[in-house]
Structure 1
Amino acid sequence: MKEAYIYCDETTIQVKGEEGRKDTTKSYMWVYSSVRESEHPVRLFDYTPGRGGKYAASFLSGFTGILITDDYAGYNQVDHDQRALCWAHARRYFVDALEGIEEETGDSIAYRLLVQMMKIFHIEAKLQKRTKKEREKERVLRERPLVEQIFVWAKTAMARQGWKTKKEEHALKYLIDNEEGLKVYLEDGSVPMTNSLAERTIRSFAIGRRNWLFSGSPRGARSCGVLYSIVESAKANGLVPYQYIHYVLEQLNGKLGQLTDEILDQVMPWNGEVKEQCG
């Protein structure tokens, strides 16, 4: 909760034995991640029986920084400073819109906006190895004018009903409705342009879910979240997950009844000795 920035995402999980719920009812696994530049790279998975924003608000109680998310309205319930939205999501809607346009793509607003977005993504890719201050400067000079032009084109097209398909209209509406959140990254060099890190983190859970299909109980789902937290946090710190788990079990053997903050600090994946042993 002391981090200045937190990524968030969520996906479904089927859990058996939930009180008052059918076994086929959807439950959710949430992931909360620190940014790449964090001194403590961490990926936390949290099981809940629903997708309501109250679950994210409860987990993130005390957080006052910037949330990096998609446009799911549930995150509005979190008490936070700002919310940075994902340009990759906006781009996907325009890619989908082009699939439904049979005429010359260059005549469509979706095509024009998509080309403009790709220019911004191209610039942003080159800024990833720059410092925070350098990114902020370059974003203002090179990306902001392109972003502002995107919204001018989008609003003009919406006002004139200049779309060819419903998908194109939907893409325009998504873009305009989320203008404030999509512009947040321009003000802070540590804020990414997309929520892709959280999506990649939760993808490992989604892939695994194809094999094990469901959790046999709420306790099992919580344990599943703990295990994914350990493995993904190890990967985020450049560790080999198997070696890290083996190391932790050895270090904590016989100490489970007397765990202290000091003992736990010694086995955190960002600890220097841990990285030497498990990197």
Structure 2
Amino acid sequence: MKLSRIQDGRETKSKSYMWLYQSGGHEPEHPIVLYEYQATRAGAHAANFLQGFSGHLQVDGYAGYHALASDTCILVGCMAHARRKFDEALKALPKESRKNKTGMAQTALRQFTRLYALEKQFKDLTIEQRYLLRQEKSKPLLEALKQWCDDNVSKTAKDAAIGKAIRYTINQWDSLTRYIEDGNIQIDNNAAERHIKPFVIGRKNWLFNQTPRGANASALLYSLVQTAVANNLEPFDYLKYLLTELPKLGRHYEPEALDQFLPWNLTEKIKPLK
């Protein structure tokens, strides 16, 4: 995202960032999607936003998240990011070499495919059932993948695509495999990736926000729309309802008065998505 003129100390066409936070778990009771504009990618922004948070926090391998790890905030890795590294390594190979089923990238990708196939099987199970089956079936596959990475890391160059993929997986291993410790944790954070995609697509259409104020407004609007979608509400109708009913509260109201406008409290008033 680029800002087109100087405001609040931001230089012309400077790069800025949209952070995304989303409630986790396989079936969160109240799905929430929040976008936050920030001028930089510094991990301090996430630390400030998540101050007081306790639980599992699923993130990619960005080093800025490491400072968030604590006894109460447990980082969980994203297996899709690790898999993507090997997919990139496969695409970096000459076309003929990609057909070699015994190649390093191909071998690793088959392991990821097996892990994801298990997750598909476990999708509709209870949290406890998913945990037990992950321990029984996923854990051995993960142990085999780790052993394979350890055996092959010395055979690859650090700057080679396959070398980067193996080293990323080894370095992130503890967080990548943490999902099998709790049946409510996802194998990856693709749900958040799906919610950031509409903003990325939109950004390509409008090219940039002109000011930080506009970027903040975009973050607010996208938060409302995507949270409505996550709760299976028609976003246009939800926004229309908010703009019609919120002014009726007047200028002075208790914060609790806003609870009635949360998406999960409006399922009988707002039509669902088709």
- SS of the equivalent of 1:71 reads coil
> Structure 2 CA distance, aligned partners of 1:74 and 1:256?
41
Query: Equivalent residue for 2:110?
Result: 115
2:146 maps to which of 125, 134, 151: 151
Match of 1:244 among 220, 238, 247: 238
**Secondary structure at 2:210's aligned position in 1?**
coil
Question: Which residue matches 1:82?
Answer: 74
Structure 1 residue 28: deviation in Å?
A: 0.7
- TM-score scaled by length of structure 2: 0.91
TM superposition shift of 1:165 = 8.4
- Quick one: structure 1 residues 149 and 116, their matched pair in 2 at CA, closer, same or farther if it must change by over 3 Å? same
Q: Work out whether 1:26 is the aligned partner of 2:15.
A: yes
Q: Distance in 1 between matches of 2:209 and 2:196?
A: 16
Q: Deviations over 1:231-277 (max 9, x none)?
A: 00100101000111111122212324123233200010011xx1111
Secondary structure of 2:37's aligned partner: strand
Give the gaps of 5 or more residues in structure 1.
Answer: 1-11
Q: CA deviation at 1:112?
A: 1.1
**Following superposition of structure 1 onto structure 2, how do residues 6-155 of structure 1 map, counting pairs within 5 Å?**
12-14=1-3, 16-35=5-24, 36-78=26-68, 80=70, 81-102=73-94, 103=97, 105-155=100-150
Distance in 1 (alpha carbons) for counterparts of 2:86 and 2:128: 31
Query: TM-score under structure 1 normalisation?
Result: 0.90
Distance 1:79 1:114 in 2: 29
Instruction: Give the number of aligned pairs.
Output: 265
Distance 1:190 1:13 in 2: 37
Which residue of the partner structure matches residue 267 of structure 2? 275
Aligned 8 A contact 1:16 1:218 in 2: no
Amino acid paired to 2:92: G
SS at 1:21 equivalent: coil
Q: Which amino acid aligns with 1:72?
A: Y
Matches within 5 A, 1:181-260: 181-260=175-254
CA contact (8 A) 1:68 1:85 kept: yes
| CA–CA separation in structure 1 for the residues paired with 2:159 and 2:55 | 38
The Cα shift of 1:164 comes to 11
Task: Report percent identity of matched pairs.
Answer: 37
- How far apart, CA to CA, are the structure 1 residues paired with 2:88 and 2:36? 31
Query: How much is the aligned-residue C-alpha RMSD, in angstroms?
Result: 1.8
Are the counterparts in 2 of residues 42 and 236 from structure 1 also a CA contact under 8 Å?
Answer: yes
